Amino acid sequence: MNEEGTSRPLLKLSTLEMETLTMKSNVFVNRTLNLKRIKYIGLDMDHTLIRYHSGAFEQLSHTVMKEKLIQKKGYPDIIKSLHFNFNQAIRGLVIDRKKGNLLKVNRHSAIRASFHGTQAIDFKTQQKMYKSTYIDLSDNDYMAVDTTFSISLAVLFAQLVDLKESRTDLRFPDFAMIADDVLDALDEGHRDGTIKNIVRDNLKTYILKDEAVVQGLETYKKHGKKIFILTNSDFYYSKLLLDYAINPFLKDHQNWQDLFELVVTFAQKPKFFYGDHRFLKIDPETGLMSNFDFKLIPGIYQGGNAAKFTSDLNLQGDEILYVGDHIYGDILRLKKDCNWRTAMVIEELAQETISDEKAGPLNHEIEQLMEKKEPFENELTQIMTQKIDRGALDESRTNELQKIITDIDGQISQLIKKQQLLYNLHWGQLMRSGNEESYFAYQVERYACVYMPKLQNLLELSPRTYFRAPRRLLPHEMV
């Protein structure tokens, strides 16, 4: 054991070594972040502090949505037979409500892959359908699939589009209404407790316990960091999950209420970051709430807002690091509306980084073939230019070059197919869209100071870590 009370070696590193550390760690840096300067670390609860078995949880949401659609919206009983496939959608997709399509877009919001229902749309059809490749994501026709718990929503929407078209004998609303109905059904499932009640009765099926996270939090606290929870879940559900996943592993604390300086439930993020809701104080014994118009003190609250939180605790915004998993609710609005630092948990990254590693040799081969192709393409360009300049054309050489280039292109496309098999079979990588970043990756890059597959990746590093952003090369600097 070292003086931190853990079996991990104490991290006493020079700045240079720290850079090496961050490069090897699973915390990825967009903007330089000095943990030494961070006094408060805020945690979102669902899918950040408390991890879910995502496949099981999405399956449950899918089932609940189907039931709600039948009961409340009069959808035909046959939708009960739709089976959930977790891999049918990925985070970051965009639903085209009007056309019944799912789209994957890149950082410039250009469409890079599309499905009508669950059927892939070929490139030519896609071009015809969308004319311009670029779409305006602020348009009401588009709906972002931006949380891990909207995978089920995207999948069910796609399945209902299929069903509407294959079963013309049944009555379904238009695609836009289907999208709205599915979203309503999911919201209601969360709001009215249907989903939470099932989770409560089957905690083991849905909730992951992680002892290392609890120990990491205790270590951080020992180093003087104050930890708080900021969640949109209500007090009772929060208590249920924290009792289950935190309490059993505490070593230096009696229960989670001692570990967390403040717990803010039903926070209504992202409004919490820009609104002016009042804080209500919650009595942890009874769950009863009372008005609280004083300076915040340690305890459990409901509602509130970031401005009061920051000033009551005598903090500068950049002394708070907030960790969340929802790009819009946790990260984007926070960055736009208040100056807390941000860390984003992206659980799919764990698998994606493994696949990236496997894809390494394939990518290398692809690059080599591209390089091999370049002189032939240049020669062809030259011959074609001369044809116009001088009216002369070496036809046999032109044919030869075209054949070589086509051959290499064939080899490249085989390798690209092999590479795609390492990722989601329908949609490929989460963070990339061909050569470009995916739109999701672009948002992460823009709004999250650092990002990682899970909270534990941050907590296993020293609370004094200096995360240095890599120097980014602009195209003209790469020459």
Residue ranges in contact with Mg ion by CB under 5 A: 44, 46-47, 325
Backbone angles phi, psi at 208, to 5 degrees: -90, 135
Angle at 245 between CA 243 and CA 247, to 5 degrees: 50
DSSP 8-class letter at 168: T
**249: its two tokens:** 């592993």
What CA–CA distance (Å, rounded) separates 162 from 153? 14
What CA–CA distance (Å, rounded) separates 449 from 205? 33
Cβ proximity to Mg ion, 46 vs 218, nearer residue: 46
What CA–CA distance (Å, rounded) separates 182 from 204? 27
Cβ proximity to Mg ion, 49 vs 415, nearer residue: 49
Cβ proximity to Mg ion, 190 vs 209, nearer residue: 190
The helix or strand, by DSSP H or E, that contains position 189, with its residue range, turns out to be helix 175-191
Provide, rounded to whole angstroms, the least separation between the CB of residue 258 and Mg ion: 23
What CA–CA distance (Å, rounded) separates 349 from 328? 18
Instruction: Identify residue 175 by its one-letter amino acid code.
Output: F
Provide, rounded to whole angstroms, the least separation between the CB of residue 269 and Mg ion: 9
Provide, rounded to whole angstroms, the least separation between the CB of residue 325 and Mg ion: 4
Cβ proximity to Mg ion, 130 vs 322, nearer residue: 322
Provide, rounded to whole angstroms, the least separation between the CB of residue 410 and Mg ion: 45
Cβ proximity to Mg ion, 47 vs 454, nearer residue: 47
Provide, rounded to whole angstroms, the least separation between the CB of residue 44 and Mg ion: 4
Cβ proximity to Mg ion, 47 vs 116, nearer residue: 47
Contact (CB, 8 A) for 422 and 358: yes
What CA–CA distance (Å, rounded) separates 196 from 170? 32
Provide, rounded to whole angstroms, the least separation between the CB of residue 424 and Mg ion: 22
Compute how many other C-beta atoms are within 10 angstroms of the C-beta atom of residue 255.
13
Q: In the beta sheet, which residues pair with residue 143?
A: 95
